[in-house]
Amino acid sequence: MAFSTRIDYSRQLIQPSGDTATFSGNTNIEGLFWVGLPQYVTDGSDPSYSGNSGYTFIVQYASDNDGVSNFYSDGRISTYGVSVTAFSGKTTGNTVVAISQPPLIPVDTTAATISITASCLQINTSNLISAAATDLGIDSLGNVVKDTSSIRYKYGIKDVSFQNLNKLLSLTPKSFKWKSNHTDDWGYIAEDVHNLGLVDLVNYEGGSPDSVKYKKLSIMLIEYLKIYGTKKDDEEFVVLTENGDYVLNREVSKKYTLKSLSDCRILPDVGLIDNNWNSLRLTPESSVELRFYDPLNCWLIVSSDGIKNT
């Protein structure tokens, strides 16, 4: 048998004419559900802040031991559980969810160009514990997701070949101030990373660089060290024992000493050898020393024995 009780909700609910509210079984409210007063969601300076639509839904707010609620002098509740607040001033739908703190106004209506000044999700960090845990992030669809690595969550797995990996050490951190809260910070500029060709480290929004994938940076650095960090010096000594082509790689070394025990052809990775030849032929028992010369963007022969112009 159902249990029913009659309640008076006229002081809690502003019910526009023609809308209906049903409190039976699952609660269904049609139309507008307005809870709260403007002074609960102001910035503390003006209880009648005109840029605020003035409706707040509050779940639990703290009180002193004597049962008296905590309020600021301007009428705002000083300690919150959770509040869902609607603001106006930039676009429709500036809704803020604040946990354990009064909601911050998300737009500065006094600025020449109205901009977002606070997040739509706000959490009092003093109530968060410190612990080793899975990182959270936000995907391009706005979902809050956990950062996982297990194969259980992945498919289409294959090896990665990074673009312009040799430019990694050209990254230059910059100091700056955030426009949103004017605080000092430092880091990489997404456009700078993009311009170096390190597109694997950039998140894009609308085709434009938006952020840097800092968590991926360590992976790319490890791959860089695999290729460029294993040399004990700046010289490569190579013995060619089989017939075929050998391509010089200035990203591995800018100085090569090649000793041929076979019939080989030496190809530059860029430019011409001695700014003249597309390749060099090494016959058995011959050798050549080459260095890459940046101003000419080519390989130069330092010494040779038995090479032939091809």
Q: What is the pLDDT of residue 84?
A: 77
Q: What is the pLDDT of residue 45?
A: 41
The SS3 assignment for 154 reads: coil
Phi/psi at 231 (5° precision): -75, 135
Q: What is the pLDDT of residue 273?
A: 93
Q: Is the pTM of this model over 0.85?
A: no
What does the pLDDT look like over 119-145, one tens digit per residue? 888 888 887 888 888 888 888 788 888
Q: What is the pLDDT of residue 5?
A: 56
DSSP secondary-structure letter at 295? G
pLDDT band at 23; cut points 50, 70, 90 = low
Distance CA 246, CA 286 (A): 14
Q: How far is CA 110 from CA 42, 50, 113, 115, 182, in A?
A: 14, 11, 8, 10, 16
Domain ranges of the chain: 1-148, 160-228, 236-309
- Would the pLDDT of 212 be above 50? yes
Phi/psi at 69 (5° precision): -65, 150
Opening angle at CA 213, ends 147 and 190, nearest 5? 150
Q: What is the pLDDT of residue 41?
A: 39
pLDDT band at 35; cut points 50, 70, 90 = low
- Would the pLDDT of 185 be above 90? yes
Distance CA 55, CA 168 (A): 50
Lowest mean pLDDT across 77-81, 170-174, 235-239: 77-81
What does the pLDDT look like over 113-124, one tens digit per residue? 656 777 888 888
Tell me the HSE value of 255 on the side-chain side, using a 13 A CA sphere: 6
What does the pLDDT look like over 271-296, one tens digit per residue? 899 989 999 999 998 999 999 988 88
Structure tokens of 7?
A: 């309640």
What is the identity of the amino acid at 67? G
- Return the closest-CA partner of residue 252 out of 265, 274, 264, 237: 237
Question: What residues are paired with 117 via a beta bridge?
Answer: none
Q: What is the pLDDT of residue 36?
A: 54
Q: What is the pLDDT of residue 214?
A: 94
- Identify the sign of the CA torsion 32, 36, 38, 42: negative
- Return the closest-CA partner of residue 168 out of 217, 204, 212: 217
Distance CA 161, CA 251 (A): 15
DSSP secondary-structure letter at 104? P
CB 103 within 8 A of CB 83: yes
Average pLDDT on 215-222 reads 93
Lowest mean pLDDT across 50-54, 132-136, 196-200: 50-54
Distance CA 30, CA 272 (A): 76
Q: What is the pLDDT of residue 38?
A: 41
Q: How far is CA 97 from CA 18, 30, 53, 100, 102, in A?
A: 29, 21, 15, 10, 10
Across the chain, what does the average pLDDT equal? 76
Average pLDDT on 81-90 reads 67
